[in-house]
């Protein structure tokens, strides 16, 4: 069981590349907060992450509130703003501009990305793409809080500038469009996110705690594989601890210290996330979803779901369906 892939699938990680920009200095590209545009660019998702991939040239990416140091982007590097903070990109630090709000929309009459070939002045050239990643926050998404506000992605040594090269090849289809080009770019952006998470895990110090640190811990990582691989099994602290080769007390303390939550609480949250995905299928009843993730009682499942999400399973399903219809209509 690949726990990271399992979570990304369960929280519906979905990408889209929106803008293909050829610029010349001086230029400034401003991105508003995702609370303002997220529903327009990635409708139907609770969390929207903005990202930029530098293909040629270089620039600085900065948060508007200066709470984090600026990030230098060079060819083959990318940056993700995990909390959806407003930010700017420019060849020179400190430059500011107002965002062009009318461009942040999902087109119905053309394919993405929007192309800007004359942007800025007549100085040094730069080529970059900008896009978004959408995912669910509820009932349970352990990745979001485990990541920093800004993530810089560099080319992996073993693959060179793989993502940048693939995006560049895919963008060439704008001159000779073929079916599936937009979907290909979407999948490449999701691949970039996985690369960013991998690099972040590798950069964590040995004493780090949290969900991502837990993935690389031999015993905690093994426990996560069990819970994700067989969530409906009637796991107890004793049975999981036995499987990973620890005593009950040592495992309980180690899991809580590493993950920030007790093992059985984590398992309960994950079962609710898996159940939520099942409930998106109208053919699956609430009782069937409860049984599929290990609840013997539908009433107990209803209570746990409402406690975590704020709505009972049936009400949550109706709200999600209504949101999906609204997103499709918009």
pLDDT score for 163? 66
Q: What are phi and psi of 85, to 5 degrees?
A: -70, 150
On the 0-12 / 13-18 / 19+ scale of CB atoms within 10 A, 234 is exposed
Q: What percent of the chain has pLDDT over 70?
A: 91
Q: Is the pLDDT of residue 177 over 70?
A: no
**Model confidence pLDDT, tens digit, residues 43-62:** 989 999 999 999 899 999 99
Classified as helix, coil or strand, 178 is: coil
More confident residue, 183 or 11: 11
> Which residue spans within 11-169 are E strands per DSSP?
14-24, 29-31, 47-56, 58-63, 71-74, 78-81, 87-90, 114-120, 125-135, 150-153
- Distance from C-alpha of 175 to C-alpha of 117, rounded to nearest angstrom: 13
Q: Is the pLDDT of residue 314 over 80?
A: yes
* Among candidate residues 161, 172, 174, 170, the one with its CA nearest the CA of residue 188: 170
Average pLDDT score over residue span 30-39? 95
Spatial CB neighbours of 158, under 8 Å, sequence gap ≥ 6? none
Q: Which domains does the chain have, with CATH numbers?
A: 3-203 (2.60.120.10), 211-326 (1.10.10.60)
- Average pLDDT of the chain to the nearest whole number: 90
On the 0-12 / 13-18 / 19+ scale of CB atoms within 10 A, 160 is exposed
Average pLDDT score over residue span 1-28? 94
CB 247 within 8 A of CB 280: no
Q: Is the pLDDT of residue 253 over 60?
A: yes
pLDDT score for 173? 57
On the 0-12 / 13-18 / 19+ scale of CB atoms within 10 A, 79 is buried
Dmax (CA) of the chain: 68
Spatial CB neighbours of 277, under 8 Å, sequence gap ≥ 6? 10, 12
CB 23 within 8 A of CB 119: yes
- Paired residues of 20 in beta bridges: 115, 129
Helix, strand, coil percent content, the chain, rounded in steps of 5: 45, 20, 35
Average pLDDT score over residue span 319-330? 66
**Model confidence pLDDT, tens digit, residues 153-165:** 887 655 556 666 7
pLDDT score for 64? 94
Q: Is the pLDDT of residue 329 over 70?
A: no
**Model confidence pLDDT, tens digit, residues 115-153:** 898 889 999 999 999 999 999 999 999 999 899 999 998
> Cα(first)–Cα(last) distance of the chain, in Å?
38
**Model confidence pLDDT, tens digit, residues 19-28:** 999 999 999 9
pLDDT band at residue 188, thresholds of 50, 70 and 90? confident
Query: Residue 313 is inside which H or E element, if any?
Result: helix 313-329
Average pLDDT score over residue span 253-262? 96
């Amino acid at each position: 069981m690949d726990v990271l892939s399992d979570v990304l699938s369960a929280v519906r990680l979905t990408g889209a590349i929106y803008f293909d920009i050829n610029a010349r200095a001086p230029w400034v590209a401003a991105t508003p907060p995702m609370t303002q545009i997220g529903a327009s660019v990635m409708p139907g998702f609770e969390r929207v992450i903005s990202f930029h991939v530098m293909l040629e040239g270089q620039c600085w990416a900065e948060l508007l509130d200066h709470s984090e140091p600026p990030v230098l982007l060079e060819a083959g590097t990318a940056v993700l703003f995990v909390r959806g903070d407003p930010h700017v990109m420019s060849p020179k630090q400190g430059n500011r501009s107002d965002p062009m709000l009318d461009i942040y929309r999902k087109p119905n009459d053309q394919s993405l990305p929007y192309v800007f070939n004359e942007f800025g002045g007549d100085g040094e050239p730069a080529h970059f793409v900008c896009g978004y990643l959408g995912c669910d926050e509820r009932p349970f998404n352990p990745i979001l809080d485990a990541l920093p506000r800004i993530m810089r992605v560099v080319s992996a040594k073993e693959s060179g500038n793989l993502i940048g090269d693939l995006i560049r090849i895919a963008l060439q289809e704008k001159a000779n469009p073929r079916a599936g080009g937009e979907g290909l770019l979407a999948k490449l952006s999701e691949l970039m996110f996985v690369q960013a998470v991998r690099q972040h895990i590798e950069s964590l110090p040995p004493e780090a705690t949290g969900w991502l640190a837990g993935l690389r811990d031999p015993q905690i990582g093994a426990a996560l594989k069990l819970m994700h691989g067989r969530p409906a099994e009637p796991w107890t602290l004793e049975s999981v601890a036995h499987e990973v080769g620890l005593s009950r007390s040592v495992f309980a303390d180690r899991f809580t210290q590493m993950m920030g939550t007790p093992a059985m609480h984590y398992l309960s949250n994950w079962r609710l996330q898996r159940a939520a995905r099942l409930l998106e299928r109208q053919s699956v009843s609430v009782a069937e979803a409860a049984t599929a993730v290990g609840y013997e009682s539908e009433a107990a499942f209803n209570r746990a779901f409402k406690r975590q999400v704020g709505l009972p399973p049936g009400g949550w399903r109706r709200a999600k369906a209504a949101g999906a219809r609204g997103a499709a209509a918009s």
